[in-house]
Amino acid sequence: MLELFVYGIVLGSIISLGAIGLTLIYGILRFGNFAHGDLMTAGAYIALFFVTGPLKWVGIPDNMFGPFSFGWRIVVAFPFSMLAVGGIAILLDRILYQTLRNKEAGRVTLSMSALGASFIVRMGVLIIWGPDYKFYKPGLIRPALVLPAGIKIRPDQILILIVVAVLVIAVHLFLKKSRMGKAMRATSDNMELARLSGIEIQKVIYYTWGIGGALAAAAGVLYGIDVQVHPGMGWNFLIPLFAAAILGGLGNVYGALAGGLIIGVVQQMSTAVLLPTYKPAVAFIIMIVLLLIRPQGIFGRSSR
Amino acid sequence: MDSTDNHILKVENVTVGYSKIDILHDVDLLLRKGEIVSIIGPNGAGKSTLLKTIIGLLNPRKGSVYLQNRDITGEKPERLVRQGISYVPQVFNIFPSLTIQENLEMGAFTRTDDFSGRMKEIYELFPVLGERRNQRVGNLSGGQRQMVAMGRALMLDPHVLLLDEPSAGLAPKFVSMIFERIIDINKTGVSLILVEQNAREALNMAHRGYVLATGRNVLDGEAKALLANEEVGRLYLGG
């Protein structure tokens, strides 16, 4: 049981990264980005591209190091993937969502177009890389560490938790300390007043997509390191992402963090009694129950 | 009206509305440097709509708005605030999840210089804001929120401040306090347009007043004259 809890925290931390981006985008643009899971997929595959392509060509070694079960190339590929997906998200806004906003499209239209964008991204991945499961570093997985109290955890997973913590703290500092971060929170609070204060809303929107996309890429790569990559991975994450964001109160960044961890743990613990195949269903049930009894989420939007 | 007049803001023949329905019809308004001008009139007269048109949230179908003799008709609010007009909406005029200090910082968003001096002046104007600068605005009382809203709008050192019903929904002790602060702000050289339900108070503190009804100019003149006017008294000041 304790082991499932630990795996749940690892899975949950990955869900949190995606859910934070989802909730940031919702806070500013007020629509559910159904393409968010596939931005994770895009991130995972762009990293795979770097690992098997450019980084190999320039001769970066890919030997495993320390206690980890991955090579140096994925470490180098990680920030490139975040940058690239941040850019893709901004580009999607530029050519798709911005056009729709200018035509005063409603939030349902925006969500549906995001769903369309998600298919484009996923099918693009499928066409380029095929449907197979892939690893960043094929080969044996290094043994798990046994911590006190008999908790087994792989060194990779410890690193994943550390990377997520660093990214979450970075987002926190950005939102609390930087001028643009404060403008993002202000715009999320009251877009018209933000305009009346001279804040350039479009710039805030680009930052939001950039950060949301980069976090999604990070989540995708970390999942790829923990498990493996395949074209449907992000799509399978979509329900847990939404469940986590709603649980935390849409628009609430810290709520999304907590929501992600809760969903991850509950999903993983459910495998003690249910087949693992039902994991997505567990998230779905949590989401439905939540929407019925407490649609504003546990933490609410105003509790930031 | 001659253009050599010392007006800072001029609204000329403005007709404006939402989608197909016009709210204002051929409305004129003049704000001279250093003045407080109060706009009074019954609910639905278009008083708030006039402010929204000046700040660029609404585009007039006809007519023009001038700021210091420059045509600003149809300019976007995010550009106008850089040219010295600030606006405090009646509702949704604060960032509730931000602290007081962050609200003021957002008011100064377009400033690239050091605005700490300006922030200090605003804390002097509203001392309670300085004491609570790190509190979230969403937790403050109505009167304190109104102070934050005005403080935010003042961060850019505007020449013109537009206030939409600053006393609405406030406890009586805050109403007189807010009105006193408005006079203080005016004394620092800011010209103000004030929209108020509280018509008598609004005229008492104003230099001049405009009466709007069903989207049209009904009367305008010296505030004292309007207060003394029998018809204004009967129709708009509650007898």
Considering the domain boundaries, does residue A21 fall inside one?
Answer: yes
Q: How many angstroms separate the CA atoms of A166 and A162, rounded?
A: 6
Which residue does chain B place closest to A180, by CA atoms?
B109
Confidence of residue A71 (pLDDT cuts 50, 70, 90): confident
Q: Based on the number of CB atoms within 10 Å of its own CB, is B29 exposed (0-12), middle (13-18) or buried (19 or more)?
A: buried
**pLDDT value of residue A301:** 54
Q: What percent of chain A has pLDDT over 70?
A: 98
Q: Residues of A with CB below 8 A from B76's CB?
A: 195
Question: What confidence score (pLDDT) does residue A178 get?
Answer: 96
Structure tokens at B85: 């007009």
Taking contacts as CB-CB distances below 8 angstroms, the residues of chain B near A197 are 81, 106-107, 109-110, 152
pTM, full prediction: 0.90
A289 assigned to some structural domain: yes
Look at residue A303 and tell me whether its pLDDT is greater than 50: no
Tally the domains of chain A: 1
Contact B78 A201 (CB under 8 A): yes
Which of B16, B168, B10 minimizes the C-alpha distance to B89? B168
pLDDT at A89 over 60: yes
Give residue A223's identity as a one-letter amino acid code: Y
Amino acid residing at B104: L
Would you say residue A76 lies in a domain?
yes
A189 in B contact zone (CB under 8 Å): yes
Decide if B101 contacts B134 (C-beta within 8 A).
yes
**A36 in a domain, yes or no?**
yes
Please give chain B's pLDDT, 239 residues, in tens: 444 567 899 999 999 988 788 999 999 999 999 999 999 998 889 999 999 999 999 999 999 999 999 999 999 999 999 999 999 999 999 999 999 999 999 999 999 999 999 999 999 999 999 999 999 999 999 999 999 999 999 999 999 999 999 998 898 888 999 999 999 999 999 999 999 988 999 999 999 999 999 999 999 999 999 999 888 888 887 75
For residue A274, give its domain range: 2-293
Residue A300 counted as domain residue: no
Residue A16 lies in a domain: yes
pLDDT at B239: 55
Residue-wise pLDDT tens digits, A217-265:
999 999 999 999 999 999 999 999 999 999 999 889 999 999 999 999 9
A186: which chain B residues are within 8 Å (Cβ-Cβ)?
Answer: 95, 98, 102, 106
A141-150, A175-184, B5-14, B76-85: segment of lowest average pLDDT: A141-150
Report the CATH number at residue A100: 1.10.3470
Q: Is residue A66 part of a domain?
A: yes
Q: What integer best gives the mean pLDDT of chain A?
A: 91
A27-50 confidence digits (pLDDT tens): 999 999 999 999 999 999 999 999
Q: With an 8 Å Cβ cutoff, are A190 and B95 in contact?
A: yes
Q: Residues of chain A with pLDDT > 90: what percent?
A: 71
Tell me if A302 is assigned to some domain. Answer: no
**Quick check: helix, strand or coil at residue B160?**
strand
